[in-house]
């Protein structure tokens, strides 16, 4: 990414098991009922418009020998998420005209692979698949890093 004239110039966008925004639609609309319910099931209402993830529950998706390291990672990185942002329509008019890559996590239990394939199709790209659950950045960092750098 480069800065010029106050704007960031982006050379490539990499979506990692992510929602691709669509003008006028919220993330909740894009997700559908199942992922929405999954997010609600693994988080709690903070009473201020935000939700915090249940770290113990999230840690249950990793192999037992990696659980403590994953809990430490979650403690260091997870912050309350603004739920209103999930329900508000995306205000953008279109996606940026830059090359894109979509990394699909084939074992994702939070954002189903079929949904991810639809997101990649919206970008007009063939997804790059990794055998990982949703937290690929923690579960498969050695496999993910070259995709982000390359």
**Which residue is it, tokens 């055998």?**
131
| Neighbouring C-beta atoms of residue 95, cutoff 10 Å | 15
Percentage, residues of the chain above pLDDT 70 = 94
Q: Are residues 83 and 108 in the same domain?
A: no
Quickly state the pLDDT bin for 142 (edges 50, 70, 90): very high
Quickly state the pLDDT bin for 6 (edges 50, 70, 90): low
The residue with greater pLDDT, 131 or 2, is 131
Q: Are residues 118 and 82 in the same domain?
A: no
Number of domains in the chain: 2
pLDDT in tens, 79-131: 888 888 888 899 989 988 899 999 999 998 878 899 999 999 999 999 999 99
What SS3 class is residue 68? helix
What SS3 class is residue 82? strand
pLDDT in tens, 39-59: 788 888 999 988 888 888 878
Between the two ends of the chain, the Cα-to-Cα distance in Å is 14
DSSP states of 30-63: HH-HHHHHHHHHTEEE-SSSEEEE-HHHHHTTS-
| Domain extent for 59 | 29-93
Q: Are residues 62 and 73 in the same domain?
A: yes
pLDDT in the model for residue 2:
46
Q: Are residues 40 and 67 in the same domain?
A: yes
Q: What mean pLDDT is predicted for residues 17-46? A: 84
Report yes or no: 106 and 132 within 8 Å, Cβ to Cβ: yes
CATH number at residue 130: 3.40.50.1820
What is the torsional sign of CA 89, 109, 80, 143?
negative
The residue from 53, 78, 93 where one domain ends is 93
pTM to 2 decimal places? 0.77
């Amino acid at each position: 990414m480069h800065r010029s004239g106050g704007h960031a110039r982006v050379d490539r966008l990499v979506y990692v098991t992510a929602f691709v925004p669509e003008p006028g639609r919220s993330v909740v609309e894009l997700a559908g009922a199942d992922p929405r319910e999954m997010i609600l099931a693994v988080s709690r209402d903070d009473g201020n418009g935000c939700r915090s993830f249940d770290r113990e529950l999230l840690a249950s998706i990793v192999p037992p020998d990696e659980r403590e390291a994953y809990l430490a990672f979650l403690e260091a990185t997870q912050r309350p998420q603004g739920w209103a942002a999930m329900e508000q329509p995306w205000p953008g008019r279109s996606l940026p005209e830059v090359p894109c890559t979509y990394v699909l996590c084939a074992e994702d239990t939070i954002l189903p692979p079929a949904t991810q394939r639809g997101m990649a199709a919206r970008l007009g790209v063939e997804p790059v698949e990794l055998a990982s659950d949703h937290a690929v950045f923690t579960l498969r960092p050695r496999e993910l890093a070259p995709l982000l750098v390359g």
